Amino acid sequence: MAIRCLELNGTAYARGIKHGQELAENIRANVKTYTNRFLLGGTTIEKIQTEASKWAVRFQQHDEEYYEEMKGIADGADLPISHISLLNARYELSYTLYTNEAAAANAIPSHEPEGCTAFGVQPEYTTTGHTIMGQNWDWLEGLLGNMCLLKVTSDEHPDYLILTQAGIVSGMIGFNENGVGLCVNGLSSHGDGQALHHRPFHIRVRDIMRAQNLNDAMKVILSTDRVCSTNWLIGQSGGDVLDIESSATVAHALYPVDGLITHGNHFINRNGITSEFERIAPCSLYRTPRLDKLIRQSKNGWDAETFKTCLKDSFGAPKAICRYANPADPEEARTVTVASVIMNLDTLTMEISDGPPDNNEYYRHSL
């Protein structure tokens, strides 16, 4: 089954209204998924509502247009704005809501951030001569069936196509009409969540989708400090790919080796950074090099089919490149590959599976 694609245009509020009206049930399901996950971490409904309301105000302070689209989603879905800010600030909220888990892990949140295994290939190394990026996006099982693609057109900014969760203005994985592409991996390091006043993650992703070129995309990441750690794999058509590992205050660039770069959920450059993800999920330590090895072992050149085959790999199951839920985990915290994505930045096409790619077909979308 193909992930639904929603075409959005017009004003920010009009885009939000359409999003909220057409995906109301999916938005409610995602609010429930995150609420249950936060409750598992030791918080209360009252604390969730209070913190989510604070983030609604922060979104408005950071970006009035982004907030207006959030408000449109809320009105379209007939939900309070706090429910929509809960989704859009999901990254940042985890640092104030996972109370029991933080205490159990010596004040380091023990929840597993979004696990992803990503890759980027320079055009001179692909069989088509195109720049190709992609990843498996591993996150909460409850999100299955509640993902969506947003195709956003505008006279003021580049058009873009982005994969997200219903109710979120921005998203995770996408590209724009200028061939600027982005894949994202969750990271964890000492100091995350200590400064909550910085520009939120999902606004930054939206800003990258509006970038004119790779330089502008990098400025979105590097120009200011951040709330929490993130890995940003970025590229542009006809040119190059690179990776930026960022903590709240430190960022390092990584570059392809012989045309290929892969990344998971741990810091590779530790200079000035204390990486914490390995304490939560050591599987990143083998997923990253394994994807590199699998791609390089391909006998027929590197193309979309090569990458699809590699992203179906089950070594280390259930915490493999192609991930399935571990029945030993609490239901609210079970993580699966919610989508597998291959992006061609030159043809402006994206192939996506709705769930783990070994059992779900890839469907093609274009900008």
What pLDDT digit, counting tens, does each position of 28-75 carry? 999 999 999 999 988 899 999 999 999 999 999 999 999 999 999 999
132 with 273, same domain: the answer is: yes
- Segment 103-118 mean pLDDT: 59
Does residue 124 form part of some domain? yes
- Provide the 3-class DSSP secondary structure of residue 189: strand
pLDDT grade, residue 102 (50/70/90)? very low
Among 22-26, 99-103, 126-130, 213-217, name the one with the lowest average pLDDT.
Answer: 99-103
CATH number of domain containing 100: 1.10.10.2120
Q: Which domain holds residue 36?
A: 7-104
Give the chain's domain count: 2
Does residue 110 form part of some domain? no
Per-residue confidence (pLDDT) for residue 109, from 0 to 100: 43
Q: Which helix (H) or strand (E) holds 336?
A: strand 335-344
Which of 76, 104, 132 represents a domain boundary (last residue)? 104
Count of positions (residues) in the chain: 367
Q: Does 106 score more than 60 pLDDT?
A: no
DSSP calls for 218-271: HHHHHSS--SS-EEEEEEETTS-EEEEEE-SS-EEEE--BTTEEEE-SS-S--T
Tens digit of each residue's pLDDT (9 = 90 or more) over 142-201: 999 999 999 999 999 999 999 999 999 999 999 999 999 999 999 988 888 888 889 999
From the list 197, 196, 139, the residue with the least C-alpha distance to 168 is 139
243 with 272, same domain: the answer is: yes
58 with 82, same domain: the answer is: yes
182 with 33, same domain: the answer is: no
Per-residue confidence (pLDDT) for residue 85, from 0 to 100: 98
Per-residue confidence (pLDDT) for residue 196, from 0 to 100: 87
Among 46-50, 101-105, 280-284, name the one with the lowest average pLDDT.
Answer: 101-105
Per-residue confidence (pLDDT) for residue 107, from 0 to 100: 44
Chain centre to alpha carbon of residue 137:
7
100 with 189, same domain: the answer is: no
Q: Does 13 score more than 80 pLDDT?
A: yes
pTM of the entire structure?
A: 0.94
Does residue 109 form part of some domain? no
207 with 93, same domain: the answer is: no
